[in-house]
A and B are shown apart, each in its own frame.
Chain A
Amino acid sequence: MENLGLDVKLLIAQVINFALFYFIFKRYFSKAFKNYLEKEKNKDVAREKLLKQAQKKDEEMIRGEQEFKQKIKRQTEAALAQAGKEAEQLKQQILEEAANEAEEIKKRAKKQIEQERSTLFQEAKEKITKLSFFIVNEALKDVLTEDVRKKITQAILKSSYKKNLTLNEN
């Protein structure tokens, strides 16, 4: 053994040393170490689980966000469509009201024109009549001679004869 370069005593001491180390380690440290490792493993598992959950939640959140965005988009589109429809209705209503109002104004203007025309016609008629009779009156004043006046007076009195005419309150 010595020729091979091995020291038996040292080997035995090393074996005993190892056995002692093994015994002490097994007795006092292995359990704690094992627990530590177990804990670390459990933590790893939990971390893994949490990571998966987080990923899952993240995915859910992304999906939810997308759904929300789509929902918002649909609602916005619907609101826009509704607003467009209402605007169109309002436009139609305003146009109808404007058309009705215009028609009403037109009717009123037509009526007013008619009234004014009628008034003017009446005034013209009155003026023409008055003027005509004024001319006749003035012409008769100049034309009628005393003799003619007497004849007309006779004719008037003759026509009023037997009519039982009497004085009336002025």
Chain B
Amino acid sequence: MKIKARLKENLKKYLIDKIRQEQENITITSATELSKEELTSLIKQFDFLKGKPITNIVDNNILAGVIISQGSRVLNLSLRFLLKNLEQSVYEIA
């Protein structure tokens, strides 16, 4: 099946915009919903959050802490991740 060149161009543009938008957008995953104060505190602590659109997702499985992600880049500060690291350390030491 042959796709029209104009349609193809539009699709390409749409996807590029979407990826750019996703890359711009920052997602913060937390165990409980973050209050405005907590968000402000986070922005204060991490300079790269300043001026970027932030979405807060609640995920009970991370136990506590936060996971900050932007596109394919991630900063994992969750209790689950810390426990996972501890598990790895215990396994290596024992």
CB within 8 Å of B: which residues of A?
A: 125-126, 129-130, 132-133, 136-137, 140-141, 144, 146, 148-150, 152-153, 156-157, 160-161, 165-170
Q: How far is the CA of A101 from the CA of B68 in the complex (A)?
A: 63
CB of B64 to closest CB in A, whole Å: 4
**Residue from the list A132, A133, A167 in contact with B68, Cβ < 8 A:** A167
The 10 closest A-B pairs by CB, nearest first: A152-B64, A167-B73, A133-B87, A156-B65, A149-B64, A149-B31, A170-B74, A129-B91, A167-B75, A146-B32
B10 close to chain A: CB less than 8 A: no
B64 touches A144 (CB 8 A): yes
CB within 8 Å of A: which residues of B?
A: 30-32, 38, 41-42, 45-46, 48, 60-61, 63-66, 68-70, 72-75, 77-80, 82-84, 86-87, 90-91, 94
Chain B hits for A168, CB < 8 A? 73-75
Provide the main secondary structure of the chain A interface.
Answer: helix
**Residue from the list B32, B75, B91 in contact with A149, Cβ < 8 A:** B32
**Residue from the list A137, A149, A150, A165 in contact with B83, Cβ < 8 A:** A137
Chain A hits for B94, CB < 8 A? 125, 129
A165 touches B91 (CB 8 A): no
Contacts A/B (CB < 8 Å), 14 sampled: A129-B87, A129-B90, A136-B83, A141-B60, A148-B64, A149-B63, A150-B32, A153-B66, A160-B77, A161-B45, A167-B48, A167-B68, A167-B69, A170-B74
Known: A153-B64, A165-B46, A167-B69. 18 other contacts (CB 8 A): A125-B91, A125-B94, A132-B87, A137-B80, A137-B83, A140-B63, A141-B63, A146-B32, A148-B64, A149-B64, A152-B64, A156-B78, A157-B42, A160-B77, A166-B46, A166-B75, A167-B75, A169-B74
Chain B hits for A141, CB < 8 A? 60-61, 63
**CB-nearest residue of chain A relative to B30?**
A153
Q: How far is the CA of A93 from the CA of B68 in the complex (A)?
A: 74
CB of B66 to closest CB in A, whole Å: 6
A167 touches B90 (CB 8 A): no
Chain B hits for A136, CB < 8 A? 83
A169 touches B83 (CB 8 A): no
Chain A hits for B77, CB < 8 A? 156-157, 160, 165
**CB-nearest residue of chain A relative to B74?**
A170
Chain A hits for B48, CB < 8 A? 166-167
Chain B hits for A156, CB < 8 A? 64-66, 77-79, 82
Chain B hits for A132, CB < 8 A? 87
